[in-house]
Amino acid sequence: MSVNLEEGLRSGAKALGLSLSDEQFQRLLAYLALIQKWNKVYNLTALRDPSDMLTHHLLDSLTAIAPLSRHAQGQPTRVLDVGSGGGLPGVVLAICMPELSVSCVDTVAKKAAFVQQVAVSLRLPNLRGLHARVESLTDPYQVICSRAFASLPDFVTWSRSALAEGGVWMAMKGKHPQDEITALPANVSVFHVEPLTVPGLDVERCMVWMRPEPT
């Protein structure tokens, strides 16, 4: 893995105010290497250039760490990453926040298998890949997240059965999705939308936090 990728990762993490250990940096870079190695087999991403993968995948996913840390407050938290593909942001969350127990669910068996392989290769006992439709999951998760997965109404409707009592949804989106927010079911409320800045990318990103309304 080239030195400039590590430099880019370290400076990006610093820009995001994250203090990660050397071991966490090495795991993130090893994860990037696994995506590169297996991309052709598993069709994990359309990106081929490692520096693009760094900004568009790793750093983009790292923007979720600070908001999720504020929410979890260091407590053990079960997180479900829906439509995770190659494990973004789920693998990144599992590496950077060992207090989380992260399940990455995808309907494509190869992608779930890849995440499982990452968990073994990087020795991440708090990570697992699930091959399933999210609608079929009933295990309770305190945080259900997605990144560029589906519209907000579809996301909350499909994953509702997996949301724990008192749980929240955390959706990583591009520009502020007002139309999707307006279309949310009446029993789901948005309690926070925070802008996210991806180091090295001049793009609009935001995080939409939602919770069910008490019935």
Cα 171 from chain centre: 9
Which domains occur in the chain, in start order? 60-212 (3.40.50.150)
* Residue pLDDT, tens place only, 71-112: 999 999 999 999 988 999 999 999 999 999 999 999 999 999
Rounded distance between C-alpha atoms, residue 148 and residue 152, angstroms: 10
- Enter the pTM of the model: 0.95
Are the CB atoms for 45 and 57 separated by under 8 Å? yes
CA distances from 130 to 50, 100, 122, 184 (A): 26, 16, 17, 27
- Give which of 33, 56, 6 is closest to 122, Cα–Cα: 33
* Residue pLDDT, tens place only, 27-81: 999 999 999 988 888 877 777 888 888 998 999 999 999 999 999 999 999 999 9
